[in-house]
Chains A and B, each alone.
With several copies, the nearest count.
Chain A
């Protein structure tokens, strides 16, 4: 399936874009991360969390295909 991933802050600097759509056949967030690590080796050293449908999820969460985002540490305020 085609899924869309948003990138923010430092992570968007690593991926050099704020959003992309990829053709993806894995099932879990961890599968997606492995795909992204292959594409962006620098991501591995970065601190970030994954959100799906605007909620933080763990690596073992199943991908539903809704809004996905890679979020570096929050620094509001």
Chain B
């Protein structure tokens, strides 16, 4: 743990496609970059016991989660030759079809970005205390478990 407060990764509600487009545009001044790789998590309308998921409501142990996101980011910069890395995760209600996770890595070389992105996404799934409540059409719910 360091003294500096980690960056806040969380955004209220869904992550918009415009926001993602703008993030991409911002990297066009960085002309040492040759390859970007972007992961987007999208809420699925799964059917469970005959009922359809209409949204996931995300909560998090925010301080610990931001510290973990920070650790993952630091480790990824040590392990891989990355120029940039950005992570955004939703809090609150994200409807089926909307985006709840946006991970963006950039590097001079393409081989690096594939390995880095998969590493970061798997670490997020395993290490970060975020909790998804799957809300069904009849307002009942269940707590999501990651595979």
* Closest A residue, CB atoms, query B126: A74
Contact A71 B129 (CB under 8 A): yes
Given contacts A9-B59, A77-B89, A77-B121, 7 further A-B contacts (CB under 8 A): A8-B60, A8-B61, A54-B67, A69-B61, A74-B125, A74-B128, A76-B132
Q: How many A-B residue pairs have CB under 8 A?
A: 68
Chain B residues with Cβ below 8 Å from A69 are 61, 64, 129
Contact B130 A74 (CB under 8 A): yes
Check if B77 is an interface residue, CB within 8 A of chain A: no
By DSSP majority rule, is chain B's interface helix, strand, loop, or mixed? mixed
Stretch from B24-32, B46-54, B139-147 that touches the partner: B139-147
- Knowing A9-B131, A51-B64 touch, does A76 contact B143 (C-beta < 8 A)? no
Number of B residues, CB within 8 Å of A: 29
Check if A21 is an interface residue, CB within 8 A of chain B: no
Which B residues between 103 and 136 are near A, CB-CB below 8 angstroms?
Answer: 110, 121, 124-133
Chain A residues with Cβ below 8 Å from B127 are 74
Contact B146 A77 (CB under 8 A): yes
- A64 CB to nearest B CB, Å: 14
Q: How far is the CA of A21 from the CA of B125 in the complex (A)?
A: 30
Chain A residues with Cβ below 8 Å from B132 are 75-76
Chain B residues with Cβ below 8 Å from A76 are 58, 60, 65, 89, 101, 124-125, 128, 130-132, 146
